[in-house]
Structure formats: structure tokens, C-alpha cells
Amino acid sequence: MGIFEAFSISASGLAAERVRMEIIAENIANINTTRQEGKKIPYQRKEVIFEEIVDSQKRGVKVASIEEDNAPPIAIYSPSHPDADSKGYVYKPNIDLHFEMVDLLSAARAYQANLVAMRTYKQMVERTLAIGG
């Protein structure tokens, strides 16, 4: 393991968690979106899938994919809404704000933990160099 590999591992975690926070923010922003590209199709919640990186050159984590949640939309009776169907129902994304906020806090804590790991490793390297110098 090279001297800077720990930084690379933590940096990959930072990048992955940043993407996760962006997707959560997108989900929250679209919590009431009833149209996509002009069609009366509700926004589909997205989720980030992580994958471990283990090879001879690099270790860490990466975003393997961003998947759409296939949970059915929530039907709300609102016949006066412009996106209501012939029966008076509007379909909204199946997004639970409480779940998204907990997921956002989890992503923020993981991001913070990677920063602390980088800072701690940096201090350890500095102290090692100070002893040897």
C-alpha cells in the first residue's frame, strides 16, 4: 500500500457520497413532480448503487449505477388538477420525504467520516515525517 493510497480510498468515498447526496436532493426537489418531458408521467425516485473497487492499482468505492425505483406512484384524487386522468386522479412520485432526509443525513455522515479519515491519515504522515526528519 502506497503512502497516498489511503487518501485515494477516502477521496473515492467522498466522490461517491457526493453523488448520493445529489441524487437525494433531486428526489426531494421532484417530490411533487407529476410530469416528465411534457407527459403526464410522475418522476421516478432514483437510488445510487455503490460498488467496491479492488484491483492491483486502486481500492475504494465507486458509483456502479443510478437506478430508478420501480415503486408505483401515489394516486391522489384531485379532479381539478391539470394532470388528472379521466377518473380525476393525479399520480405523484412515491417518495417518502422522511426516508430521503434520513438517507441524506446518512450520506452526510459518511462524507464527514471520509474527511476525518483523510485528515487523520494526513496528521499521521506529517508526524512520521517529522520524526524521520
**Mean pLDDT in each 10-residue stretch from start to end of the chain (133 residues)?**
83 96 98 91 96 89 96 95 94 96 98 94 87 72
pLDDT of residue 1: 61
CA 120 remoteness from chain centre: 25
pLDDT of residue 5: 87
Cα dihedral across residues 123, 110, 9, 59: positive or negative: positive
CA pair distance 120, 133, nearest whole angstrom: 20
pLDDT of residue 133: 62
Complete DSSP assignment for 1-41? --TTHHHHHHHHHHHHHHHHHHHHHHHHHTTT---BTTBS-
- Residue burial 86-100, b: 16+ Cβ < 10 Å; e: rest: eeebbbbbebeeeeb
pLDDT of residue 55: 85
